[in-house]
A and B are shown apart, each in its own frame.
Chain A
Amino acid sequence: MTEKRIRWLLVGVLVGQLMLLSAQVRSEDRNYSVLEASMLRLVAPLVRAVDGSAAAVSSLRGRFETRKALREDNEKLRGELEAMRRDRVETFGLEQKLELLSKAASYAQSSGSPPRVADVVLLDYGSWQQTLMLYVGDQGVERQQPVVTDAGLVGRVVVAAGRYAKVQMITDRSASVGAMIERTRRQGIVRGGERSFLGMDFVPLQEVVKVGDRVLTAGIDGVYPRGIPVGTVVSVRPGGELFHRISLVPAVDLGRLDQVFLLQAERVPPDLQTIDDASR
């Protein structure tokens, strides 16, 4: 191939990629291309295989190391078991009370479908472009599905490619979550901030916000269900004009994810969707 042709090819490739990039930017809702999904389908199984092998090796090493410790623990546990059997009788009454409470909790649960477990195959939280890749199994996954752990909110699915998904974490600068302060129920928008912190916008200065206040999802953004812990307030400063500048620390330690849960996305009802599209 002549030098001139190669230069034209270079220009073509660069322009093509710029178009691909700008198509993603144009959409507020981070559209993904067929190319991205295909590449994810191609590369993710390899990533999962490597991750699985590494986990198997470390677990094998761990097994040898813990075998001796397990023997000692076994002896100790036998003694403790006797004591616990005695305690068991005492806790019987508490168990009955707990059963009643769990029935009440399941009744109050708004979400119809149970959460699904997904394995984390790649987590790169240290880099400035954070990445979370999941293996979701045969059932597949949909875009916008909220991703949570037992501690709180992780993010939402932005690329769905068969059994694999890419997640936008809440600490991503372009991520935003409709949230509320648990104590006062005041709503605001939580955005990704500096490094591992989050920022909460649109909370007026009149509102009393305290360090240590818990922030939950408000269920107003059409993605996340209401009541999932987002983070805890670590600093409150007066902002430039009408609003506080609030910093939060995420409820979930995003650097230590192993398994996560996928929830059903909170869909906007079709009638409201039409109104929303028209207003745009």
Chain B
Amino acid sequence: MRAAKFLAGLLAATIVHVLGVRMVQDFSSAIDVFLVVALFNARGGSPFAGLLGGLVTGWCADVMTGGLYGAYGFCNTLVGYGAAVAVQRLVIEKAGGVFLLFSLGAAVQQLLLLSLSRLLRPGAPAPELTGLMVMFTTVGLTGALGFLLRARLVRWRAAWRRNQSATLR
């Protein structure tokens, strides 16, 4: 079930990315949808799931970008694993915490990506600072929004079940 959810998320991310890039020129500079999926996956699972999710989303992101193949795979693996370990050790039960986790994840990913591309290809281009800030914010906001929606869905489902059982009685 977890794997199916993850694959559905990955499929949705691919569709959103392709449509987003088609409609907005700077879409991929503004948000990394694959990272969002990796972080959601890491948030709800073990470090192993975080690692694996990061690896797979990273490889998908690598196909969609023109840089060296494996750079996103490397960064997302570390971020996915790190986020899963952080979630295990910290109690993150508020939207603000989730926002921070996702934004920090995006910051670490971009930092790693930049260091890696500078290390392997001196003189490689760098993203603009404004673009990075926008990305940290959008990834954080998407994470917080997802968290709030999920919480509301859980509450709504619980209420629906209570109503059902009351009707049966």
Contact = CB atoms under 8 A, between A and B. Distances in A.
Contacts of B125: 128-129, 173
A255 interface: yes
6 closest Cβ contacts across the A-B interface?
Answer: A126-B25, A36-B69, A126-B26, A127-B28, A129-B67, A131-B66
A14 B77 contact: yes
B77 A50 contact: no
B29 A126 contact: yes
Nearest to A36: B69
Interface residues of B, number: 45
B69 A20 contact: yes
A172 B124 CA distance: 9
A39 B59 contact: yes
Interface string A216-237: 0000000000000000000000
Interface centre among B51, B55, B68, B77 (most CB of A within 10 A): B68
A78 B142 CA distance: 54
Contacts of A128: 29, 125-128, 131
B66 A43 contact: no
A6 B124 contact: no
Given A10-B77, A17-B77, A22-B120, A169 B66 contact: yes
Interface stretch (B11-19, B36-44, B92-100, B145-153): B11-19
Nearest to A25: B120
Contact of B14 (A14, A35, A50, A131): A50
A125 interface: yes
Contacts of B24: 126
Interface string A12-46: 01100110111011000000110110011001101
Nearest to B29: A127
Q: How large is the interface on A (under 10, 10 to 19, 20 to 34, 35 or more residues)?
A: 35 or more
A20 B24 CA distance: 32
B65 A127 contact: yes
Contacts of B28: 124, 126-127
Interface string B60-99: 1011111111110110011001000000000000000000
Contacts of A51: 18, 22
B27 interface: yes
B17 to A, nearest CB: 9
B48 A43 contact: no
A9 B29 CA distance: 31
A32 B18 contact: no
29 contacts: A3-B47, A6-B47, A9-B48, A10-B47, A13-B55, A17-B73, A20-B69, A20-B70, A21-B71, A21-B74, A21-B120, A24-B69, A25-B68, A33-B69, A43-B14, A43-B63, A122-B21, A122-B64, A123-B21, A124-B66, A127-B29, A128-B126, A129-B65, A129-B67, A131-B64, A166-B66, A172-B66, A173-B121, A255-B25
